[in-house]
Chains A and B, each alone.
Chain A
Amino acid sequence: MDTKGILEIIQRNGKNHAGIIAILEEIQEECSYLPEEALRLVARETGRSLADIYGVATFYKAFSLKPKGRHCISACLGTACHVRGAQKIVEEFSQELGIKPGETTPDNEITFETVNCLGACALGPIVVSDGHYFANVTARKVGEILRDTREGTFDSDVSQEAHPFLIEVSCPRCGRSLMDSGTSLHGHPSILITASMNGKTGWARIPSLYGHFSRTHEHDFPADTIIQLSCPHCASSFQDGSRCVDCGAPLATMRLADNSGVFRICTRTGCDGHLLDIGRAEL
Chain B
Amino acid sequence: MINITINGLAVSVENGSTILEAARFLGFPIPTLCHHEGLTPYGACRLCVVEIGEGPGARLVSSCTYPVEEGLKVRTASERVVRARRMIIELLLASCPQSKVIQDLASAHGVRTQRFKQEYEDCVLCGLCVRMCSEQMMAGAIGFRGRGEERSIGTPFDVQSEVCRFCGGCMHVCPACQLRCTYNQPEKAVCNACANLAPPCIEKEQYGDMMCYMNPCVACEIK
How far does the alpha carbon of A36 sit from the alpha carbon of B162 in the complex, in Å?
14
Complex Cα gap A48–B139 (Å): 10
Whether B140 contacts A50 by the Cβ 8 Å rule is yes
| Contacting pair B143 A55 (CB below 8 A) | yes
Within 8 A of A (CB), among B137-158: 139-147, 155-157
- Check A55 against B140 for contact (C-beta < 8 Å): no
Q: Which of A44-61 contact B (CB under 8 A)?
A: 48-55, 58-60
Interface string of B152-179 (1 = CB under 8 A from A): 0001110001010000000000000000
A55 interface neighbour in B133, B144, B161, Cβ under 8 Å: B144
B136 adjacent to chain A (CB < 8 Å): no
0/1 interface trace, chain A 225-266, chain B, CB 8 Å (1 if under): 000000000000000000000000000000000000000000
CA A51 – CA B140 in complex, angstroms? 6
Rounded to whole angstroms, the CA-CA distance of A50 and B164 in the bound complex is: 12
Residues of chain A contacted by B161 (CB below 8 angstroms): 50-51
Interface size on B, as a range, is 10 to 19
Do A51 and B146 have beta carbons less than 8 Å apart?
no
> B155 touching A59 by the CB < 8 A rule?
no
Residues of chain A at interface, number, CB under 8 A: 13
Give bound CA distance, A36 to B156, whole Å.
9
A39 touches B (CB below 8 Å):
yes
| Chain A interface residues toward B at CB < 8 A | 36, 39, 48-55, 58-60
Interchain Cβ contacts under 8 Å between A and B, 28 examples: A36-B157, A39-B156, A48-B140, A49-B134, A49-B139, A49-B140, A49-B163, A50-B156, A50-B161, A50-B163, A51-B130, A51-B133, A51-B134, A51-B140, A51-B141, A51-B142, A51-B155, A51-B156, A51-B161, A52-B140, A53-B156, A54-B157, A55-B143, A55-B145, A58-B145, A58-B147, A59-B144, A60-B147
Q: A49-B139, A52-B140 are in contact. List 16 more A-B contacts (CB 8 A).
A: A49-B163, A50-B161, A51-B133, A51-B140, A51-B141, A51-B142, A52-B143, A53-B156, A54-B145, A54-B156, A54-B157, A55-B145, A58-B146, A59-B144, A59-B147, A60-B147
* Complex A-B, nearest 4 residue pairs according to Cβ-Cβ distance, in ascending order: A49-B140, A51-B143, A54-B156, A55-B143
